[in-house]
């Protein structure tokens, strides 16, 4: 099913209303008044393209990098066609995450790097053993 043009127009108008309200009252008060959901993200480093809960949205990452505290973004759409309206709570170029928060991420990254290195060695051995025209038949 797809939303009608009337429904799409109403959603866009509601998003504009939300933007004005957020600019006046702040995200939490505006969300409560409009009965919408406001979500906080953890700190997102300036060199990171991925935003937890949203994904990769270049217009939003650019806004985060350049915006000042309390700035309100333009209305954006993410990959799932959700309307996104953001407000910056603080904008620091450097910050530190607690080790307990990043420990699993570091472990996963190290395991991934180790697996890639192991597979790379096997792939290089395979490529040295067979000519490129025989890769698929040899792999079978």
H helices present in the chain, as ranges: 5-25, 27-34, 58-66, 99-129, 135-139
∠ CA 13-11-89, nearest 5°, is: 80
Question: pTM of the full predicted structure?
Answer: 0.57
The confidence band for 39, taking pLDDT boundaries of 50, 70 and 90, is: confident
Whether residue 45 is predicted with pLDDT greater than 70 in this model: the reply is yes
Question: Residue 46: pLDDT band by 50, 70, 90 thresholds?
Answer: confident
Among positive and negative, which fits the CA dihedral 65, 68, 71, 74? negative
Q: Above 80 in pLDDT, residue 62? A: yes
Domain ranges of the chain: 5-84, 99-139
pLDDT score, position 37: 83
C-alpha of 95 from chain center: 18
């Amino acid at each position: 099913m797809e939303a009608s043009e009337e429904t799409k127009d109403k959603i866009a108008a509601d998003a504009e209303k939300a933007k004005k309200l957020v600019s006046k009252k702040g995200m939490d008060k505006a969300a409560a008044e409009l009965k919408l959901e406001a979500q906080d993200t953890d700190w997102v480093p300036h060199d990171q393209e991925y935003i937890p809960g949203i994904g990769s949205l270049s217009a939003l990452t650019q806004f985060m990098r350049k915006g000042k505290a309390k700035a309100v973004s333009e209305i954006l759409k993410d990959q799932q066609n959700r309307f996104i309206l953001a407000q910056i709570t603080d904008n620091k170029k450097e910050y530190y995450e607690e080790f307990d928060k990043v420990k699993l991420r570091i472990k996963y990254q190290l395991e991934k790097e180790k697996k890639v290195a192991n597979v790379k060695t096997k792939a290089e051995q395979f490529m040295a053993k067979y000519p490129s025209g025989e890769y698929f038949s040899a792999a079978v």
